[in-house]
């Protein structure tokens, strides 16, 4: 029965074999980077986000502002948001600025007023 060391060696051989395939078929340079390098050194992405939410109960409206920053700069974001009073909003794939930032603002629809007599 194989031991733990045997499995580690096998995993290392499989990993090296996969990297050889990537090197062979993805060696073209695009935008100054070899695609095969992406597999070796995946980029760590950091996302910073801050929110403000203001709700006016008298008129049944909310304003939401979300500030997003990605490091290194990314191209797009998409998001979903839920809040009080069954509020939901979604942001489809949206481009970020070249520096990886974007301010997204959403206003909730005004609820129909109820009258009492």
How many domains does one find in the chain? 2
Nearest to 101 by CA among 78, 65, 76, 81: 76
Write down the residue that tokens 């194989």 correspond to: 2
Residues 98 and 52 in one domain: yes
Asked if residue 112 is part of any domain, the answer here is no
Q: How far apart are CA 107 and CA 56, in angstroms?
A: 11
Q: Which residues of 43-81 are buried (b: 16+ CB within 10 A; e: fewer)?
A: eeeeeeeeeeeebeeeeeebebebebbbeeebeebeeee
Residues 66 and 98 in one domain: yes
Name the 3-class secondary structure at 83: strand
Residues 55 and 102 in one domain: yes
Asked if residue 117 is part of any domain, the answer here is no
Residues 8 and 52 in one domain: no
pLDDT along the chain (117 residues), means of 10: 74 85 74 67 80 82 84 85 75 88 74 47
Asked if residue 71 is part of any domain, the answer here is yes
Boundaries of domain holding 72:
46-107
What does pTM read for this prediction?
0.48
């Amino acid at each position: 029965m194989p031991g733990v060391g045997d499995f580690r060696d096998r995993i290392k051989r499989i990993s090296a074999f996969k990297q050889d395939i990537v090197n062979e078929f993805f060696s073209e340079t695009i935008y100054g980077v070899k695609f095969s390098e992406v597999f070796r050194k995946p980029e760590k992405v950091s996302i910073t986000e801050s929110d403000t939410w203001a709700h006016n109960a008298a008129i049944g409206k909310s304003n939401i502002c979300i500030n997003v920053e990605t490091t290194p700069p990314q191209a797009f974001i998409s998001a979903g948001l839920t809040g009080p009073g069954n509020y939901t909003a979604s942001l489809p794939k949206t481009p970020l600025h070249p520096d990886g930032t974007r301010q997204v603002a959403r206003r909730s629809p005004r609820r129909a007023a109820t009258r009492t007599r």
